[in-house]
Structure 1
Amino acid sequence: MLRTRIGLVVLASVLLAIAVPVISAYRGVSTLVSDQLDRSLQDRTQTVLTALDLGRLPPVRPDTVEQLLPADGPAQKLTPGAPALPVSARALEVARTGQGSHQEDATVDGTPYGVLTQARPDGQGAVMVGQTYAGVTEVDEAFLQRITVTSAAAALSCALLSWLVLGRILRPVRRLADAAEHITTTRDLATPLPAAGRDEIGGLTRAFESMVGALRHSREQQQRLVQDASHELRTPLTSVRGCAELLQRARGRLAPEDEEQILATLVTETVALDEIVRELVELATDQQTAEDPEPLDLPDAAEDSARRFHRRTGREIAVTVEGPVPVLARPRALQRCVDNLVGNAVKFSPDGTPVEIRITGTRLSVRDHGPGIAPDDRQAVFERFFRAAGTQATPGSGLGLAIVHDLVAADHGSVFATAAPDGGAEVGFHLPPAPQIMHSSHIVPSKV
């Protein structure tokens, strides 16, 4: 669960942030207390030495034990009823020499003491002063306990606060996840998505909304394609079925010329069906999308298409180039677009009339000398299965220009259809220029 994982990360960060200063503070306080104890022990030792020099006993303190350590005799207690301090070899050395001092820790009757052995100024032995650590230990334990409780309370408070805040922050993510699960379950791409804010989660919501919109548009296109295809396939299928049923009923009784006409109709309609199916598959699968866009020269694609159509149809196809600019497009998709435009122009041009391909910058147009395109139909010609008035009997699937539109749009270009000045139509496209390519304007006319 994302909320739990983030909460654990926040809690770990808080614990680390608390632990570092707490440990530093504890060590600093321990050092400060230790230094204070050492100074207190030294001050008490000086007080004892001063009192002895004055021939008096030092005042009694409940937390200290004092005793004399002669140079050559046993230790003598200065604090009545107090426990005896253990005498180490180093303490005896200070007493014998009458010089220096020695500090050590000792345990007396289970109580920890700090013991300072200091030589007397007159050189006659030394004094030993022991100060109990019991109170310091209690303070240390109390400080450690309090700081532990405080740190734990702070960590728990931060954990609770982060859990509540994360729940509020991740609420849009949960809503988006619920909407995605609903879409997955119901296949309803019209499901509304939660409102997008201005933060990263809002950006994720907008990206998801764009993706769902693209899927919705794709589904609408598929449904429209199926509807249009079923409508367009109905006519040739009906014709083929009628011819087949007529041949079945006649069973050889038809006149040869009638049978030949029916067979010719079957062949014609079968060819039309094959072309429609091929164009539908091309349009539905968009086989060109696997290519990557690259810088391409429009004149090369135009020359190649002109040569192939000239060999195939014998039609004169002229290519005129003026200031060409390399375009960014997919190679096979670009060639398919040019071929479709040239094939469309050949189909609608009367026999003996030329077809003209003109390239200006990143613009390519194909001009025919046919009946032209009515102003109201110049956008509709790029729709699937569209046929203008008077062209219903013209062979073709009605998908050629639709494929051009889709392929050019996929490469971020645009299509157009206009009327030629002296009759006929001019159909073509614009494509984006290839980046960082320099060119110079020139005119290269050629004719195939």
Structure 2
Amino acid sequence: MSLRTQLSLLTAVSVAVAVVVVSLAAYFAARDRLLGQVDQSLHSRSMAIENGRGLPRLQGGGELEGVPRPRDAFGQADTFFQVINGGGSVVAAPPGQQGTIPVSSQDIAVANGAHGAYMRDVTSGELHMRVLTSPGQAGEAVQIARSLNEVDASLAELRNILLVVSGGGVLLAAIVGLIVAQRSLRPVARLTAAAEHVAETQNLEARIEVRRNDEIGRLATSFNEMLRALHESRQQQRQLVSDASHELRTPLTSLRTNIEVLARGDDMRDAERRELLRDVTFELEELTKVVTELVELASDARTEAQTHEDVRLDQLAASIVERFSRRSGLHIELEARPTLVVGNYGLLERAAGNLLDNACKWSPPGASVEVKVADGVLSVRDHGPGIADIDRSHVFDRFYRAEAARAKPGSGLGLAIVKQIVEAHDGTVTIEAAPDGGTIASIALPVIAMDDAPPPEPPAPPMADAPGVGAAPGGAS
């Protein structure tokens, strides 16, 4: 069953229930009002008898004492009267009255004083009556009845009217519900058609036209956003595969060549063999580094960044500065103020480490690297040759390497990883030329307030004889 049919049926059923409830309420309200009028009429006649010259009795002329001689005892053809004794026999009734009022055991109890006045419905032949039985003189009860045939006819007519109106209302509600459901679900039909089109053609550039601002409109907008995100993801995946295949081809080719030479070089001198083995080892290290960075770049940093924790950015910077000071032998200055951010410590450490590694790689011997942390911003400045204007806009692209960087080790993935991590933390990363030469790379993250945080410990002094930093990716590398 389609959703449109379900909505139409639901509308029709809801209206039907409402119509039935209203119709029943109207019917019983009218019935109670009509019966109330009959009861009031019977009580008024009963009061007229009680306030008269005693209860009516047959006289010699056949008339009821205290009651004139009309068509019946009360001048109405649909009203009946009789007096019964304690044995249930009728002792008085208007002359010419058609039929008698049925007497029940409860009526006899009223005549004997064992029960009070009460009202009931009875049927005598084809006559439906409303009967009021009340105590009369000692050992007697007075019964006054009024025909309900007119009330029954009115209620029957009301039932027919309500049935016709209810049926018409339900039918009209079903038709209107079908039209409304069809118009309301038209955007859903377009959404379904678009989804089926995308599934069949794999065309992620398809879009749904949004013409409304309600829930259906928001659903269509969300669907368009999902298609856009999927399209971008597919494009990035294709670009990553293309770039990775290109970057992996060079070290693999070199490895294959060197290994083939080693395999055929039975008469190769030991010095040449050692040189080829060093080349093989270097190419393997480069290949391992590229594969590791590709895996990291392909991972969902945004999902990992959702593992929130409080991160002291100043202490994180101090730890990285200490590590790179030992490895590089460079003088790295740290100027940090207590700064608290929220994010994944490991990812932020990798991003900051990539910036500092890139700065150390491009710093000339004897130069210094400056690291500053304040108000959620971590900046790294080197005093190297800087980045050309033509290259600065591409340094965050995957596998991009400036002309000057192609002679240095690296894959060109370092700053791409930094950008992915920082954007996963709702931050920004920028690179700009320093006023007096060199480059300033900065990470800006949302900062949270902190009170009286202790300053970070100063970094360890540089070690001149420490081994140099291994090749690391950089934006210009």
Question: Which band: TM-score by shorter chain?
Answer: 0.7 to 0.9
Deviates more, 1:363-372 or 1:48-57: 48-57
Q: Distance in 2 between matches of 1:318 and 1:380?
A: 28
Partner of 1:144: 159
* 2:411 equivalent to 1:397: yes
Query: Where does 1:165-314 land on structure 2 (aligned, <5 Å)?
Result: 165-248=180-263, 250-286=264-300, 289-291=303-305, 292-314=307-329
Structure 1 counterpart of 2:370, from 335, 356, 372: 356
Gapped regions of structure 1 (runs ≥ 5): none
2:69 to 49, 53, 57: 57
- What secondary structure does 1:394 align onto? coil
Farther-moved stretch of structure 1 (66-75 vs 184-193): 66-75
Question: Is 1:383 matched with 2:383?
Answer: no
**CA apart distance, 1:65:** 4.2
C-alpha offsets along residues 47-78 of structure 1, whole Å, 9 cap, x if unaligned? 99697347853225543445566899854653
Q: Does the aligned pair in 2 maintain the 1:357–1:365 contact within 8 Å?
A: yes
Q: What's the offset of the Cα at 1:128?
A: 5.1
**Does structure 2 retain, via aligned residues, the 8 Å contact 1:288–1:330?**
no
Tell me how far apart the structure 1 counterparts of residues 105 and 432 of structure 2 sit (CA, whole Å).
117
Residue 413 (structure 1) aligns with: 427
Contact 2:325 2:460 in 1 (8 A): no
Within the alignment, does 1:369 sit opposite 2:383 as a pair?
A: yes
User: Partners in 2 of 1:119 and 1:357 — Cα distance?
Assistant: 111
- 75 and 181 in structure 1: CA distance in 2 versus 1, 3 angstrom threshold: same
Give the whole-Å Cα distance in 2 for the aligned partners of 1:195 and 1:261: 66
The residue identity in structure 2 corresponding to 1:107 is: T
Q: Which moved more, 1:14-23 or 1:85-94?
A: 85-94
Q: Give the number of equivalent residue pairs.
A: 442
Q: What is the Cα deviation at residue 274 of structure 1?
A: 1.1
Q: TM-score by structure 1 length?
A: 0.85
Alignment of 1:124-163 (within 5 A): 129-163=144-178
Q: Decide which moves more: 69-78 or 210-219.
A: 69-78
Distance 1:146 1:49, change over 3 A: farther
RCO (CA 8 Å, sep 6+): is it higher in 1 or 2? 2
8 A Cα contact 1:293 1:411, kept in partner: no
1:281 & 1:127 partners in 2: Cα distance?
104
Q: 1:168-225 CA deviation, whole Å, 9 max, x = no partner?
A: 1121122112212322333221122232421121111112211221121111111111
Query: What amino acid sits opposite 1:194 in the alignment?
Result: E
Residue 447 of structure 2: SS of its match in structure 1? coil
Indicate the residue corresponding to 1:14 in structure 2: 15
Q: Does 1:30 align with 2:31?
A: yes
| C-alpha distance in 2 between matches for 1:90 and 1:263 | 122
Q: 1:85 is matched with which residue? A: 101
CA RMSD in angstroms comes to: 3.5
How far 1:347 sits from its partner (Å)?
1.6
Q: Using the alignment, how far apart are the partners of 2:190 and 2:83 within structure 1?
A: 83
Query: For each residue in 1:244-302, what CA deviation from the matched residue of structure 2 results, as whole angstroms up to 9, or x when unmatched?
Result: 23333x33123333333222222221211111111111111145732423432221111
- Offset at residue 116 of structure 1 (A): 4.7
Task: Report sequence identity in percent.
Answer: 36
Instruction: Tell me which amino acid in the other structure corresponds to 1:38.
Output: D
Quote how far apart the aligned CAs of 1:334 are: 0.8
CA shift at 1:12, angstroms? 4.1
Partner of residue 315, structure 1: 330
Structure 1 residues 78 and 267, CA gap change in structure 2 (3 angstroms): same
Partner Cα separation in structure 1 for residue 252 and residue 111 of structure 2? 127
Please give the alpha-carbon distance, in whole angstroms, between the structure 1 residues aligned to 2:358 and 2:396. Answer: 12
After superposition, the C-alpha distances for 1:211-242 in whole angstroms (9 at most, x for unaligned) are 22112111111111111111212222222222
Q: Which has the higher helix share?
A: 1
Inter-partner Cα distance in structure 1 for 2:122 and 2:395: 106
Partner SS for 2:442 = strand
Alignment match, 2:341: 327
8 Å CA contact retained: 2:321, 2:459: no
Q: For 1:209 and 1:368, how far apart are their aligned partners in 2?
A: 44
Query: Cα offset for 1:117?
Result: 5.9
Does structure 1 retain, via aligned residues, the 8 Å contact 2:64–2:94?
no
SS in 2 for 1:426: strand
Check 1:87–1:228 CA distance in 2 against 1; reply closer, same or farther (3 A cut): closer
Whether the 8 Å CA contact 1:68–1:76 is kept in 2: the answer is yes
Moved more, 163-172 or 152-161: 152-161
Where 2:404 maps in the other structure, the secondary structure is coil
Q: 2:130–2:146: 8 Å Cα contact kept in structure 1?
A: yes
Change (3 A) 1:336 1:120: closer
**Counterpart in the other structure of 2:60:** none
Letter of the 2:71 counterpart? P
| Runs of at least 5 residues in structure 2 that lack an aligned partner in the other structure | 50-54, 58-62, 462-477
**CA distance change for structure 1 residues 294 and 35 in 2, over 3 Å: closer, same or farther?**
same
> Tell me, what secondary structure is at the counterpart of 2:174?
helix
